[in-house]
Amino acid sequence: MGYSCDKERRVIRCVVFDFGNVLYWFDYSRFYNLVQKHSALSADQIRDVLYDGEDALSRRLETGTIGRDEFISLLRSRAQIDLPPEQLERHFVDIFEPNTPVVDLAAELAAVVPIALLSNTNEIHYEQYMKHTEAIKLMSAVSLSHRVGAMKPAEAIFREVLDQLQLPAEQCVFIDDVPAYVEAARVLGFSGVHYDGAIDLRRALVDLGLPLRA
């Protein structure tokens, strides 16, 4: 386990979190394996239906190009899934587990500085799961790809969260598990932390001057 963060000391006034594999773990293989039992396709083929190509269903959903009903309809058809729409949607949501140390750390942070969410996500996951979590209830700002119409690493989604916060990037730290997204934030002026372990994340934030117990 390790972390990487900026060495330059700044005054940090907000911590911006990614959701998946930072605050909450997610595992799409759970979804593929569940629905494969009701499909003529393999788990890998179902994954390809979701992710392959520029016109991939997941990308269209996460940029808001299509809504939940159209997505579920297209997924049932293209992946040949013989499940009622409501059940398929429940399986699509059943991929998350809390990363409890980071959720607890977010609550600790929220007592001393604003915290925010910036996530590539979709209407189904947000409405059915994410917005009901304790972590999201602590957020001062929430920037979601399907609402913004842009996904990380696009500049637009970073600008949108800054607009909500009314802060410059230089006063914010962005935490993500994807190095390319951390780098995109750094280019815009954010301090950046590439997350891959809860204990290391605390140390990284202390190193950046956040008032946390070491």
Which residues have C-beta within 8 Å of that of residue 165, sequence separation ≥ 6? Answer: 14, 114, 116, 140, 141, 172
What integer pLDDT is reported at residue 18 of this predicted model?
Answer: 99
pLDDT digits (tens, 9 = 90+) for 64-90: 999 999 999 999 999 999 999 999 999
Confirm if 26 and 95 have CB atoms less than 8 A apart.
Answer: yes
- List, in order of start, the domains of the chain with CATH numbers: 4-26+97-207 (3.40.50.1000), 28-93 (1.10.150.240)
Higher per-residue confidence, 209 vs 214: 209
Q: Which amino acid is at 154?
A: A
Which of 43, 41, 19, 17 has the alpha carbon at shortest distance from 29? 43
User: Does an H or E element contain 142, and which?
Assistant: strand 141-144
What integer pLDDT is reported at residue 5 of this predicted model?
Answer: 58
What is the pTM (predicted TM-score) of this model? 0.93
pLDDT digits (tens, 9 = 90+) for 115-172: 999 999 999 999 999 999 999 999 999 999 999 999 999 999 999 999 999 999 999 9
Residue 6's pLDDT band (cuts 50, 70, 90): low
Burial tier of 171 (Cβ tally within 10 Å: 0-12, 13-18, 19+): middle
How many helices and strands in the chain, by DSSP H and E?
12, 8
